[in-house]
Structure 1
Amino acid sequence: MSSEAAADTPFGKSLVPAGAPSGVRRGLKIELLVVLGLSLGKSGIYAIVNLVDKMTRAPLGSQTTSLNNPLNQREYFDLTYQLLDIFFALVPVMLVLYLLWRIPGRNPFAMLGLEFKRPFKDLGWGAGLFAAMGLGTLGVYALGRALGLTTVLVPAALDDYWWTIPVLVFSAIRHGILEEVIVVGYLFERLGRLGWGKWQIVCSSAVLRGSYHLYQGIGPFIGNVAMGIVFGFVYSRKGRVMPLVIAHAFLDIAGFVGYALLGPAIGLGT
């Protein structure tokens, strides 16, 4: 590993030389499969099966998909399960950071841009992406519903407790960290080391992002692929996942908390 030169961007010089032993490349490929199999790759497979199940039951437009569901009928056991679910969903992120930390002389947080050195720039980019993707998400959802390609989405199905809103916020942040660190930061770094080209990585990351949303219908798959292309392009230029984490968290907070507070009152979810 000491002969491998570190790249400053996801598309700099490959960290695996062309003449590297096949075992090195094989090891990276196995690592990728294990990480994805423990996290969002597994979610993608389940989402595909779930979509096929739904499509063979009834038209997608007549079905409902609920997110952030209760995990127990008793309030404080539900809270406990919700917090455990959020914590353990982030374990693959810890694994990824550990694997990147093993590269000599590299700080995984700095490598991925997952730190607070540029808070105002990151917040500005995150807010801009949130505004652009938010409008796009609403448009794709409305079109998908009109075409019968998207199920009715209920973003927050938790019971109304004092801790409901904080848990929804934590859940949104969890999704932002999990998806952007693994599907963008980690995937770009590892595929870059294997010599993949910029747009190969961007498109692969985007399709993976869309795959684990297929349980919501075809519309969300298309919308998330488009979002993945935009996020991937921004990351390829900036080399930082923090703006993506911020934008993603804002999107989910708006969806989860906005629905919990206003959805039933204004007739959303129909």
Structure 2
Amino acid sequence: MLNLEARKRSIWLIIVLCFALVWPITKSTYLLFHPSHGVEVSNLRFGLNVIFEVLGLILLGVSLKIQKRSFKEFGLTFKFSDLGHALLLYFSFYILEIILFLFVPDLKSEPHNVEFYKSNITLFYFIFIIVNPFFEELIVRAYGITEFLHFFKKEEIAVLVSTLIQTSYHLYQGAIPAILNGLLFFIFSIYFAKKRRIIPIILVHGFFDIYAMIQLHGT
């Protein structure tokens, strides 16, 4: 039986993850079978997404405060070494992707339903690009892995569950792009489980979002 503190911790985990993940996973699954066919995302949609993600981060912050914990637990403090770690994470994925394509060239596939990156760059678009890496990496990666480790006591389970959850709400891009995303998320999860530093992961995630935005605007 869980003691009172453990029950409180598990309840908050369920509340935060349900708020943050039920809608993205539902939407991603729907788009996997019902592509958006290039419909642009409106500025209002970006605004709503920003509000949703900020509320998710606030909810996480409130849950930690009630439990007398803080974001510092996830390594949310900047160190200059984080820049080097971010570069190592990026090149690790880049090298693994090259090796994977050499052995399985059929895995090269353009992601679907990413037309929102082609939308006009507005204030809400810009804010979304900034907020999204914090939302995903703090909630699914840092918080998720920390709590899964606490309850399951196995690093492998924590890494796998976090990777599968994050991959599930990227299925809207198609099965193969989601697998490649999953490889990146797997590297991120291993890094966090070992180092407990989330800043390098947020930096790399943000870089990939900005790169996708620039690349698709140039097509």
Which of 139, 143, 154 does residue 182 from structure 1 map onto?
139
Indicate the residue corresponding to 1:124 in structure 2.
84
- Determine helix, strand or coil for the equivalent of 1:90: helix
**Structure 2: distance between partners of 1:258 and 1:250:** 12
Deviations 1:167-214 (A, max 9, x none): 544322222101100111111222222233100000000000110011
Indicate the residue corresponding to 1:156 in structure 2.
117
**Structure 1: distance between partners of 2:29 and 2:77:** 34
Question: Does residue 1:111 correspond to 2:68, yes or no?
Answer: no
**Structure 2: distance between partners of 1:40 and 1:48:** 12
Question: Does residue 1:238 correspond to 2:199, yes or no?
Answer: no
Indicate the residue corresponding to 1:101 in structure 2.
65
Q: What letter is aligned with 1:96? A: L
Q: What letter is aligned with 1:98? A: V
Indicate the residue corresponding to 2:154 in structure 1.
197
Question: Does residue 1:50 correspond to 2:12, yes or no?
Answer: no
Write 1 or 2 for the structure with the bigger share of helix. 2
After TM superposition, the runs of 4+ consecutive aligned structure 1 residues lying more than 6 A away are: 137-140
Deviation at 1:31, TM superposition (A): 2.5
CA contact (8 A) 2:46 2:125 kept: no
- Please give the root-mean-square deviation of Cα atoms over the aligned residues, in Å: 3.0
Deviations 1:69-93 (A, max 9, x none): 442xxxxxx3x66345324322111
**Structure 2: distance between partners of 1:114 and 1:51:** 33
Deviation at 1:152, TM superposition (A): 6.9
**Structure 2: distance between partners of 1:123 and 1:40:** 29
CA, structure 1 residues 45+196, in 2 after alignment: closer, same or farther (shift >3 Å)? Answer: farther
**Structure 2: distance between partners of 1:233 and 1:65:** 35
Q: Structure 1-normalised TM-score?
A: 0.68
CA, structure 1 residues 30+42, in 2 after alignment: closer, same or farther (shift >3 Å)? Answer: farther
**Structure 1: distance between partners of 2:16 and 2:116:** 27
Q: Structure 2-normalised TM-score?
A: 0.82
Q: What letter is aligned with 1:192? A: L
Aligned residue runs from structure 1 range 191-270, under 5 A: 191-260=148-217, 262=218, 264=219
CA, structure 1 residues 133+173, in 2 after alignment: closer, same or farther (shift >3 Å)? Answer: farther
Deviation at 1:134, TM superposition (A): 5.2
Deviation at 1:114, TM superposition (A): 1.2
State which structure, 1 or 2, has the greater radius of gyration over its C-alpha atoms: 1
